[in-house]
Structure 1
Amino acid sequence: MTPTAPRISVIGAGPGGLTCARALQRHGVQVTVHELDASLDARPQGGTLDMHADSGQIALEAAGLLDRFRTLARPAGQAKRGLTAQGEVVVDYRPDEDEDGAPEIDRGQLRALLADALEPGTIRWGRKLASITGDGDGTHRLLFEDGTTTHTDLVIGADGAWSKVRPLVSDATPRYTGVTFVEAWFHHVDRAHPAVATLVGDGHIFATGDSKGLIAQRNSGGRVCVYIGIRDEPDWQRAAGLDPADTEAVRATLLERFAGWDESLLPLITDNDGPYVSRPLYAIPAPHFWPHSPGVTLLGDAAHLMTPFGGNGANYAMLDGAELALALARHDDLDEAVTAYEKTMQTRAADFGDGIEALHQAFAPGGLDRADIPDFAQEKDDYRARAAAYRAT
């Protein structure tokens, strides 16, 4: 970078923003991360992520954290079983012990790994962005809800689906996909829920049919996260006259929706510990391009919000962060760095799409279409082949 160090502000301490900050610091570039959470563990981070060899793992390597990641990752978590609504197993993929194409890690573990690697004081916790004002020369004034302000030469929007940075460069907004995931958790699963533990195994199971689905993931610490997928309004509980806090009423309604499903699958709906959390799925239709605007850019969900199908969201957010950091470290001019990064990032996101079609295939009327089930072993080979090609460029 130029002899006068630019003021770089990352908005959002998710995987993408933290990867960017860590990679910048490895290259001696100063950066500040502003995060609305009050602390690292202020709220649960959700379920598990598969880190792909061709994206998330490349980003972790750029951050100097790949070896540490491997000590936390669960290769056995790559196991996948697909079932019909009647409980028939149609695919049962069991990875080799040394399979490294896409090992799993809990979201919370990944976030802590990245945050702990940053220089002390890098993350300003409890900073919720209130407004951004351009100064006319490519710099911006950031105002936070706690009343603090800062001026920055580059603001990086890593603030997710409902980004407050995105409107500076694009009028795109997330669109509801028509599918909502209702999240449920099982704790001490091997002891307290042995049937669920056996059903889920070490990795994932998925069962879809008649526009509904059940997806269950093994997490660390003896926990299982289940996503109960339904086609309905985003606020389906209140539309049905339900109080979202009335767990028993929500459970009864969900069980009615899955009437006729095999009894072996129903404990994923009925036996959970704690409440249900409704998570409507949104996406920004691809491709999403925008003209370069001095002093601002986006990464991750702020730039290319995808559905969960394909598992690319966090992986590409982290690769975005790593590539942006490298561009900033290599270029003397801030705008040249950001322009080069945006060209690569936007093209890649356009090529891989928004995941909406895959989501609609999974939640289509009728039963599970076996032709839509990926070859999971080949998928891992593809990740490694693309990783090799990426490193060779």
Structure 2
Amino acid sequence: MTIAIVGAGLGGLALARMLHVKGIDAVVYEREPSRDARGQGGMLDIHSGQRALREAGLLDRFHAIARPEGQDMRLLEPDGTLLLQEDTPDDAPSLRPEVDRADLRDLLLDSVPEGTVRWGHAFESAGDGVLHFADGRTATYDLLVGADGAQSRVRALLTDARPVHIGQNVVEVGIPDVDRTHPDLAAMVGRGNYWVLGDGKSLSAQRNGDGRVRIGVSFYNTAENWFATSGIPFDDPAAARARLIDLLAGWDPRFTALIAACDDTVVPRSITTLPIGLTWPSTPGVTLIGDAAHLMPPVGEGANMALLDGVLLALALAAHPDGFPAAVEEYEREMFERTGAAGRMSADMQELLMSPDAARRMLAFFQPG
């Protein structure tokens, strides 16, 4: 039986790794031309996903690349008021360590046999057991797993659901080698997560393993076309930074100093999600994992759910070696319940972030009672 996985992200690679552990072959088709074709994003908070890494025999290797100090948290209001500072003790358990997404992906890539991932295969369509790629190549499959992210093409084989904008637009910027270039700002941000919330906006700064601070400036309750009307000239990085600073008028100068120190990488990102609790009738021969199945707000659950999806689907397939449909149905039943709960929790957190008193509500979340 031929298992074809579309997408070499965390979920698809976790599935391939777990299948390899169970002695089951699979092929991963990835549209990117190589593993280093593009950046993989910032840090991830891995908590429930550690269960998946343990099952896959990778937990020790994960802890070798993870950053427990990334659990540090600082929460402030736009006027500079510090509401919360939590610094992780050196002997604290790594319950939610941060890890660079690229490092975690490399760990997974290195854990599967050479040749498992077929680079440069842009999936176009599938039917009657045949995959069709953009360059005209084809491949056969018995089970097709869509691990192809938010804009999944495989998803259309199972449901008409599509991601929708949720009223959040983010401008991503960053400061490279922050300890050397801006030690004062490095000390301010600290080792982990730095959040400023208020006025329908947020600024999140996060220390990456490579010394870069990634910064996301979010604008809540904004339309899908907000970037076109925001006055941010994305083709002129210096002017874009100046406009971002204007949009944070009245904020403490320490926060706008972070924006002024950023380099020329300025990336707009509109936030979309799939419906909470999305399901579909189980269909022999095809299923979904990760963002293709349950795209959530970016509040810390997506990567963990993708890792669990991949590993739990592999375990179901190993338990039903002669019955892929039964394995898929078993996996989907568990996945729908688990990710539905995670989706509802993520939506609650998103609602908190979009509220007028976001900082105080976030403080109550971290310090209940």
Q: TM-score range by the shorter chain?
A: over 0.9
- 371 and 216 in structure 1: CA distance in 2 versus 1, 3 angstrom threshold: closer
In the alignment, which residue of structure 1 is the partner of 2:295?
305
Is the CA contact 1:208–1:363 (under 8 Å) kept in the aligned structure 2? Answer: no
Shift of 1:7: 0.4
In the alignment, which residue of structure 2 is the partner of 1:23?
18
In the alignment, which residue of structure 1 is the partner of 2:28?
33
**What are the residue-to-residue correspondences of 1:295-374 with 2, within 5 Å?**
295-309=285-299, 311-331=300-320, 332-354=322-344, 355-366=346-357, 368-370=359-361, 373-374=364-365
Is the CA contact 1:210–1:363 (under 8 Å) kept in the aligned structure 2? Answer: no
Please tell me the residue identity of whatever aligns with 1:78: Q
In the alignment, which residue of structure 1 is the partner of 2:259?
269
Is the CA contact 1:237–1:244 (under 8 Å) kept in the aligned structure 2? Answer: no
In the alignment, which residue of structure 1 is the partner of 2:366?
375
Q: List per-residue Cα deviations over 1:1-33 (Å, max 9, x = no partner).
A: xxxxx1000111101110000000110001000
Shift of 1:241: 5.2
- 313 and 258 in structure 1: CA distance in 2 versus 1, 3 angstrom threshold: same
Is the CA contact 1:162–1:302 (under 8 Å) kept in the aligned structure 2? Answer: yes
Is the CA contact 2:231–2:243 (under 8 Å) kept in the aligned structure 1? Answer: no
1:285 paired with 2:280, answer no
Is the CA contact 1:179–1:280 (under 8 Å) kept in the aligned structure 2? Answer: yes
Q: TM-score, normalised by structure 2?
A: 0.95
In the alignment, which residue of structure 2 is the partner of 1:96?
89
> Separation in 2 of the partners of 1:128 and 1:267?
41
> Separation in 1 of the partners of 2:156 and 2:230?
34
1:230 paired with 2:200, answer no
SS of aligned partner of 2:8: coil
Is the CA contact 1:238–1:244 (under 8 Å) kept in the aligned structure 2? Answer: no
> Separation in 1 of the partners of 2:53 and 2:358?
38
Q: TM-score, normalised by structure 1?
A: 0.89
Is the CA contact 2:352–2:362 (under 8 Å) kept in the aligned structure 1? Answer: no
> Separation in 1 of the partners of 2:363 and 2:213?
25
Stretches of structure 1 lacking an aligned partner (at least 5 in a row): 1-5, 379-393
Is the CA contact 1:283–1:356 (under 8 Å) kept in the aligned structure 2? Answer: no
In the alignment, which residue of structure 2 is the partner of 1:60?
53
- 328 and 78 in structure 1: CA distance in 2 versus 1, 3 angstrom threshold: same
Among candidates 50, 72, 80, match of residue 45 of structure 2:
50
Shift of 1:60: 0.8
In the alignment, which residue of structure 2 is the partner of 1:109?
103
- 242 and 256 in structure 1: CA distance in 2 versus 1, 3 angstrom threshold: closer
SS of aligned partner of 1:196: helix
> Separation in 1 of the partners of 2:55 and 2:34?
25
Percent identity, aligned pairs only, is: 43
- 168 and 307 in structure 1: CA distance in 2 versus 1, 3 angstrom threshold: same
In the alignment, which residue of structure 2 is the partner of 1:182?
171
SS of aligned partner of 2:253: coil
Is the CA contact 2:352–2:358 (under 8 Å) kept in the aligned structure 1? Answer: no
Shift of 1:238: 2.8
Is the CA contact 1:84–1:367 (under 8 Å) kept in the aligned structure 2? Answer: no
Is the CA contact 1:182–1:279 (under 8 Å) kept in the aligned structure 2? Answer: yes
Among candidates 254, 261, 267, match of residue 244 of structure 2:
254
1:86 paired with 2:79, answer yes
> Separation in 1 of the partners of 2:181 and 2:232?
28
In the alignment, which residue of structure 1 is the partner of 2:126?
132
In the alignment, which residue of structure 2 is the partner of 1:245?
235
In the alignment, which residue of structure 1 is the partner of 2:6?
11
Q: List per-residue Cα deviations over 1:21-48 (Å, max 9, x = no partner).
A: 0000110001000111111111011100
Q: List per-residue Cα deviations over 1:150-203 (Å, max 9, x = no partner).
A: 110110011111110111111111110110111111111011012220111110
Shift of 1:375: 2.7
Shift of 1:339: 0.4
Q: List per-residue Cα deviations over 1:87-129 (Å, max 9, x = no partner).
A: 1111111222232101111000000000011101000011111
> Separation in 1 of the partners of 2:178 and 2:22?
43
> Separation in 2 of the partners of 1:296 and 1:31?
14
In the alignment, which residue of structure 2 is the partner of 1:384?
none
> Separation in 2 of the partners of 1:361 and 1:210?
13
> Separation in 1 of the partners of 2:364 and 2:296?
19
SS of aligned partner of 2:334: helix
SS of aligned partner of 1:244: coil
